Structure 1
Amino acid sequence: MKIGVISDTHGDYKSWIKAWNFLKDSDIILHAGDVLYHGPRNPIPEGYDPKKLAVAINACPVPLLIAEGNCDAYVDQMMLEVPIQTPYVFAFIEGKRFMINHGHSISEEDIHKLIMKYKLDYFITGHTHIPLIKKIENCVVINPGSTSLSKREDKINSVGFIEVESGSAHIIDLETGVVI
C-alpha cells in the first residue's frame, strides 16, 4: 500500500496539481492541515486559488484524511466535501497505527507520549513547512514540508510517501521528483 503524505497546501491550486502528479498513485492521502487559507503570517502563494483547490480536493478519487491546522476554519469546511477532522486523526491502515496532527500546538514531549500511548507506527505532522523524517522509539515521524510555502533555504516544496509493506518513507521535491 502506498500512502501519500501532504501538508500546508494553503490554498495553492497550482502546487496541488504538481503534488497530484506524485500522489495520484496513492491508495490513501494523509493531509496534516492548513488546506485552503494562506494564513495572515504567510505570503500569498503564486497559485493561490482556494476555490479551485477545494474543487480539486472534492474531486480527488483517492481517499483523504485531513487533520485540522491552525489556518483551517469552519468556512473552509463549508467548501470541502472531505471532513477536516479534529486536531488529531487516528487511523489503522494495513495493520499500522497512524496519527495525524498539524503540529502547531504540540511539543516533542507530547508527541513522544502519544507515540507510546497509542503504540504508533507513524506520526504525521506539518506546520513548520520544513520536511523531516525521523524515528522516535519504533515510530516514524514525518513532516512532508509544504507544497507551496517552503521555509527551507532552497525553497523546495515537497510531499511524502510511505510504502507500508517495505516500511520505507521518503520525501519528494515537487519540481524535480528527486527524493530529498
Structure 2
Amino acid sequence: MKILVISDTHGDTDKAEEVIRSYRDIDLIIHLGDYFRDAQKLAALFPQIPMEYIYGNSDFMIGDVVAEKTLRYEGKIIFITHGHRYSVKWDYDKLHKKAEEINADLLLFGHTHVGDKVEKNGYILLNPGSISDPREDSGRSYALVSICCGKIETEIVCV
C-alpha cells in the first residue's frame, strides 16, 4: 500500500494537484489539516483515490470533521492529527505519549510546516511539512508511506 501524506495547504492546492497527478500508484491520500476543505476539493478532483482528512487549528465551521483519527491499514495502526493539540512547535513529548498509549505504528502530524521524522520504540512520528506554505527555509514537501510485508517505509519528498 502506498500513501501520499500532505498537510498545511492553506487554500493553495496547485502543488498538491501536480504531485497527485505525478503518481499512478497511490492507494490513499491523507491530509493533516489546515485546510480540510482543500482535502475535500482534492477528493472531488481525484475520486478514484480514497482520502482521509482531519481539521487543523486554522479550520473553522468544521461541521462533523474530526480533529484526529486512528486508522488501520495492512495490520498497522496509523494515528493522524494536525499537531496543534500536542504542542508540536515546542517538543514531541505529547506525541510520543499518544503513540505509546494507542500502540501506534505510525503517527502523522503537521502544523509546523517543516518536515520531520523520528523513529522510537518501534513507531514512527512523521510530519510531511507543507506542500504549499513551507517555513524555516525547509522548502515545499510531502511524505510517502509504503506499507508492505509488515513493514512501514517513509520518505519526506521536497518539491
Partner residue of 1:91?
Answer: 71
Partner residue of 1:42?
Answer: none
User: What letter is aligned with 1:113?
Assistant: K
Q: Does 1:146 align with 2:130?
A: yes
User: Any conservation in 2 of the 1:9–1:35 contact (CA below 8 Å)?
Assistant: yes
Partner residue of 2:119?
Answer: 135
Cα 1:16–1:170 change in 2 (3 A) is same
Cα 1:173–1:21 change in 2 (3 A) is farther
CA distance in 2, matches of 1:30, 1:67: 9
Q: Normalising by the residue count of structure 1, what TM-score does the alignment of the two structures yield? A: 0.76
Partner residue of 1:81?
Answer: none
Deviation at 1:167, TM superposition (A): 2.1
Which blocks of at least 5 consecutive residues in structure 1 are unaligned? 38-49, 78-83, 175-180
What are the Cα deviations for residues 124-160 of structure 1, in whole angstroms up to 9, with x where unaligned?
000100001111321111100001110132x511110
Q: Which has a greater percent of strand?
A: 2
What are the Cα deviations for residues 45-78 of structure 1, in whole angstroms up to 9, with x where unaligned?
xxxxx6xx85443232211111210111226x6x
Partner residue of 2:33?
Answer: 33
Cα 1:167–1:112 change in 2 (3 A) is same
Cα 1:55–1:119 change in 2 (3 A) is closer
The percentage of counterpart residues that share the same residue type is 28
Q: Does 1:110 align with 2:94?
A: yes
Q: Does 1:63 align with 2:47?
A: no
- The Cα RMSD (Å) is 2.1
Which blocks of at least 5 consecutive residues in structure 2 are unaligned? none
Cα 1:24–1:74 change in 2 (3 A) is farther
